[in-house]
Structure 1
Amino acid sequence: MTTIGIIGSKGRMGQALQQAIADAGHDYAGGADQGDDVGALAAKADVLVDFSAPAALSHNLDAAIKAGIPIVIGTTGLENSHHTAIDAAAQTIAVLQTGNTSLGVTLLAHLVEEASSKLGDEWDIEIVEMHHRMKVDAPSGTALLLGEAAAEGRSIDLAINSERGRDGQTGAREQGAIGFASLRGGTAAGDHSVTFAGNEERITLTHNAENRMIFARGAVKAAEWLAGKGAGRYSMQDVLDLD
């Protein structure tokens, strides 16, 4: 049994996490939201799960370090500075950061990396994602996770090999680029497709999220796995032992 604290407990994911913690038979240490004392929550928990906001990440990492407990970070919209802070924290505590806590998406990313490594750059890679109208960042953290998997398979840098937001006279597609398209509308929990388009043939790998409980259950699985781990930076692929 693991005692889990939630940062961002009043949000949609925070509420789903509380249900997933109860369903899994773990203890809920309580939640911390904007203006609350994360340090006090960390003192009561075996592990923290953070689904709050990028601006709060540094403070949340500091609280986990001070308490000497692991932290699962599912917050999306992170920038390079946030990843630098995560790398620094991982020198002291166990940190699992991911753009998506779904076990299905984790397996999808593994398959994308494998396909990308086997197919040459004459196969164009396009990633399409759709989320509910209230989502504020694009491309989604999951789309970027899948893009990183594709780039890893080809041993290239995603940052300089991606195409986004095409509009107007964009010119021909760059060979080897990884394309992104973001759709927003309705109440979609999250749909992601990765298409490998070759000459006269296509392969499409797809994951459809029907309810955000899949992310909550995956996050609880990650927290359960991370509890007691030594310092280091981990991923959902570690949870499924895919590396």
Structure 2
Amino acid sequence: MGREIMRAIAASEPSLQLAGVWVRPDSPLLDRPMTEFAGPAASEVTASCDLSAVLAAADVAIDFSLPAAVPNILQEAVKARKALVCGVSGLDQDTLTLMQSAARTVPLFYDRNMSIGVALLRRMVEQSGQVLGEGFSATISDLHHAEKRDAPSGTALMLGETLAAARGQDFKSVMRYDSEQAAVARNSDDIVFDVRREGLHPGAHTVVLAGPDENLSFSHTVTDRRVFAVGALRAAKWLHERPPGLYSMQDLLQG
């Protein structure tokens, strides 16, 4: 995602500029100028493994790394007093707790999916759950590329959690998923996950609510991973100069 973000910055209006790029010490991009991805405006920006130096040069940092890297990034963002947009899914509870603590010092924007379309999908799922209640069985289909590690995806889990909360359910009690994709026995109020990992697909999610006399279906399909970079940049602009706190795409939708 880092390269997509740099390309999106290059294609954006002049108010957004690439200030720095943090990479692993063994990255082939280390010490290389970022003009290949971010254009001539980034001629003086080289990839660095010094996170504190990268943060010092930025107004807002964007993180699409891996779950294991997030705690250190949070700690460094707090030290530098820098706003942070985090789009890493699969975070454990300890990291989420650390994020809540960090948000008391700096503005943090966290969402498991940076697509504005998914944010709208989540809102529609929430409203449907509130109106329809438990009389409609729920299936969430989750399609991603074959190399995606987490299943169900963070987005699929977010949609399930949103639906369960809207219906007054405990998500862990009603979630049904078989990693072997065997047929799952279900009760009428369960939330069943249908997960597929195949090809190079960037992501598609469908929520089906099936009632005794009618079905309701919501779908979102990614056609280009650039959508996540564009959403992250939109979040960064929105977050800049906000007070400390933990924000999400739902806050951005509200303005």
Structure-1-length-normalised TM-score: 0.90
* 1:102 CA drift (Å): 0.3
Q: CA RMSD in A?
A: 1.5
| Number of the residue aligned with 2:162 | 149
| Number of the residue aligned with 1:15 | 3
**Deviation larger for 226-235 or 25-34:** 25-34
* 1:182 CA drift (Å): 1.1
Select the residue among 218, 226, 233 that pairs with 2:231: 218
CA separation of 1:129 and 1:81: change in aligned 2, threshold 3 A: same
| Number of the residue aligned with 1:4 | none
Q: Cα deviations across residues 110-156 of structure 1 (Å, max 9, x unaligned)?
A: 00000011002120111101011111111111111211221221132
**Residues 99, 144 of structure 1: 8 Å contact kept:** no
Q: Is 1:31 matched up with 2:30? A: no
Output the CA distance in 2 between the equivalents of 1:236 and 1:77: 17
| Long gaps (5+) in structure 1 | 1-12
| Number of the residue aligned with 2:67 | 54
| Number of the residue aligned with 1:43 | 56
Select the residue among 108, 111, 121 that pairs with 1:95: 108
**Residues 175, 191 of structure 2: 8 Å contact kept:** yes
| Long gaps (5+) in structure 2 | 26-48
Letter in 1 for 2:197: R
Select the residue among 119, 130, 133 that pairs with 1:120: 133
Q: How many residues align?
A: 229
Select the residue among 136, 139, 160 that pairs with 2:173: 160
**Hey, which bits of structure 1, 4+ residues long, moved more than 3 A?**
166-171
Larger radius of gyration: 2
Identity %: 38
Letter in 2 for 1:30: G
Output the CA distance in 2 between the equivalents of 1:226 and 1:106: 16
* 1:51 CA drift (Å): 0.3
Higher strand share: 1
| Number of the residue aligned with 1:67 | 80
Letter in 1 for 2:85: V
